[in-house]
Amino acid sequence: MKISVTLTKNPKPRPDENSLGFGKYYTDHMFIMDYDKENGWHDARIVPYAPIVLDPAAMCIHYAQEAFEGMKAYRHADGSISLFRPMENCRRLNSSNDRLCIPLINEDDMLQAVRELVRVDADWVPRKPETSLYIRPFVFATEPHVGVHPSATYQFVIILSPVGAYYAEGLAPVKIYVEDKYTRASKGGTGATKAAANYAQSLKAQMDAQAKGYSQVLWLDSVEQKYVEEVGAMNIFFKINGEVITPALTGSVLPGITRKSTVELLKYWGVPVSERRLSIDEIRDAAHNGKLEEVFGTGTAAVVSPVGVLGYKDEKYVINNFQIGELTQKIYDELTGIQWGTRPDPFGWVMPL
């Protein structure tokens, strides 16, 4: 794919790497590509970061025909930059596109666009430990039309954001509320995609949980509200009596790339791990019997996030005395070590830029 490059004449001041936060700053450039029926995906370009002009009738605004991805570029100690399993994100974006009737994008072209954009803004990849460059590819419907049908035109855009550790306080246990009123994804719905609409409809539960002193919610299945699915922006793992369990990908759970890597890592280490249905009753029993050993979430943003408390109805289960579990810490150290190049990568997950 030919990508034209127009460099900015007004580079922005660089943010202080000690206070990057998450998703606060955006780099100097962005990638854009257009779609229409006559030309398919065309006019790939890297241009100065700027607002996007949209017709007020653009269908993404009215009918949420939008999908996105989240991945990171990591600076290694020798100054080089790498990506982590980027083709997995390209494949997942296309699977979201397919579900949302958005035209598929050639996956090699997506990867090329990510790599070329990161190369143009390479100096924005931060150097401080635990910082990275968050990459946000997204695709949205642009046809000006009021009426529900798949849009005839789209844009594919990639923006970049230098980020610090997801939790400012570092790796520390979080409190999660098991949501028993709202649900995230229904059978046959869009739960397995990164559709923007999934996140809009999850906000109410998150706000209610925060008002109760929890940081995020753990979703239960939408049919019986009995089986655990995932957390707001993370997949979830439970270590019960020596076995690590994560909910199976039954169509309503996002197939996380950190989840996949964690399962592969555990198998490599010989730790018993299963992907299966797991009911909240089994978790409650394990908590009451002292068998609920560790709970942690996995996702690109936080990598691994220990869970210290699970709140369910009027009960609270404190996990591992609100301390980071041994296995949780080991997975965090291994994944981040591979990502930042301080540990060997026996799986071939790291792709140099």
Ligand X SMILES: Cc1ncc(COP(=O)(O)O)c(C=O)c1O
Binding site for ligand X (CB under 6 A): 70, 230, 233-235, 254, 256-259, 298-300
- Nearest distance from residue 341's CB to ligand X, in Å? 19
Q: Exposed, middle or buried: residue 30 (CB in 10 Å: 0-12, 13-18, 19+)?
A: buried
CB atoms inside a 10 Å sphere around CB 229 = 24
3-class SS letters over 103-151: CCCCHHHHHHHHHHHHHHCHHHCCCCCCCEEEEEEEEEECCECCCCCCC
- Nearest distance from residue 72's CB to ligand X, in Å? 9
Q: Which is nearer to ligand X, 41 or 238 (CB)?
A: 238
C-alpha radius of gyration, the chain, whole number: 21
- Nearest distance from residue 225's CB to ligand X, in Å? 18
Helix H or strand E segment including 199: helix 196-200
- Nearest distance from residue 304's CB to ligand X, in Å? 10
- Nearest distance from residue 267's CB to ligand X, in Å? 17
Q: Which is nearer to ligand X, 70 or 126 (CB)?
A: 70
Q: Which is nearer to ligand X, 29 or 92 (CB)?
A: 92
- Nearest distance from residue 231's CB to ligand X, in Å? 7
Placement of tokens 């560790």 in the chain? 294
Q: Residues 28, 164: contact at Cβ < 8 Å? A: no
- Nearest distance from residue 92's CB to ligand X, in Å? 7
Q: Which is nearer to ligand X, 134 or 140 (CB)?
A: 134
Q: Which is nearer to ligand X, 44 or 195 (CB)?
A: 195
- Nearest distance from residue 3's CB to ligand X, in Å? 25
Structure tokens at 333: 């150290």
User: CA separation (Å) from 242 to 112, 238, 245, 297?
Assistant: 42, 10, 10, 17
Handedness of CA 279, 284, 287, 289 (dihedral sign): negative
Q: Which is nearer to ligand X, 44 or 244 (CB)?
A: 244
Placement of tokens 């979830």 in the chain? 236
Q: Residues 64, 197: contact at Cβ < 8 Å? A: yes
Q: Exposed, middle or buried: residue 29 (CB in 10 Å: 0-12, 13-18, 19+)?
A: buried
- Nearest distance from residue 114's CB to ligand X, in Å? 15
Measured in Å, how far apart are the chain's first and last C-alpha atoms?
A: 17
Q: Which is nearer to ligand X, 70 or 311 (CB)?
A: 70
Q: Which is nearer to ligand X, 155 or 262 (CB)?
A: 262
Q: Which residue from 2, 5, 1, 10 is spatially nearest to 46, judged by alpha carbons?
A: 5
Determine the angle formed by the axes of helices 107-120 and 86-99, rounding to 10 degrees: 130
Q: Which is nearer to ligand X, 118 or 287 (CB)?
A: 118
Helix, strand or coil for residue 251? coil
Size of the chain in residues:
353
Q: Which residue from 263, 258, 218, 227 is spatially nearest to 245, judged by alpha carbons?
A: 263
